[in-house]
Amino acid sequence: IFFTDNFRYFVLFLSNNHTVAQNPDVRLYGCKELCIVIEEALYALTKEPFASQLHGDISPAHKALWEMQVPFFEAMELLCRSIHPEIRIEALESVYRILQTSGQVISSGWSIILPILMSIGLDSTDPQLIPLAFKSLQLIVADYLPNLPIGMVLHSFIFFFFVFSHFKQNSPFCY
């Protein structure tokens, strides 16, 4: 609990208008370092054989990492909602990197990843975020669709296709 509380304070510090976070270089450095910690922690889950994870024979350290998926992705969600565009871009790029390297071990994190991508699709005010969200969505459909909870799949992807279909062919959001 101590770790997750301090983790949330750090994320809120980065994503809001704290005095120290006013410096864009400090803010971006903190965001990048936090994203690296999350990416590496989730990547560590891929190192233990997947079969043992399915049977519950995992080490205490790996069990703790499994349980940290939700706080990790909640942190990414807060960063993606930051008022600072560079933080939002870095966080969404990190979500994509996590999907590339560790998507096969995500379980409880899907319930946060999909709403992150939905919120980006709905908030089309930042043109750099739309291609990143769409690229993540393409990766999920191509590689991880069977891993998603069935109830989440139908609702989420119908919504995704509705949101992304509103971008015109000649717009910078078209892919």
Judge whether residue 173 has pLDDT over 90: no
Distance CA 37, CA 79 (A): 14
Judge whether residue 105 has pLDDT over 90: no
The answer for residues whose C-beta is within 8 angstroms of residue 172's C-beta and 6 or more apart is: 127
End-to-end CA distance of the chain: 42
Distance CA 2, CA 172 (A): 44
Could you give the percent of the chain with pLDDT greater than 70?
Answer: 72
Q: What is the mean pLDDT of residues 139-160?
A: 80
DSSP 55: T
∠ CA 94-131-115, rounded to 5°: 60
Which one has a higher pLDDT value, 17 or 121?
A: 121
The answer, as to whether pTM is greater than 0.85, is no
pLDDT tier at 134 (50, 70, 90 boundaries)?
confident
pLDDT tier at 51 (50, 70, 90 boundaries)?
very low
pLDDT in tens, 22-45: 778 888 888 898 899 889 888 887
User: Lowest-confidence range among 65-69, 81-85, 123-127, 146-150?
Assistant: 123-127
Question: What does the pLDDT read at residue 99?
Answer: 96
- Answer whether 96's CB lies under 8 Å from 134's CB: no
Which one has a higher pLDDT value, 16 or 74?
A: 74
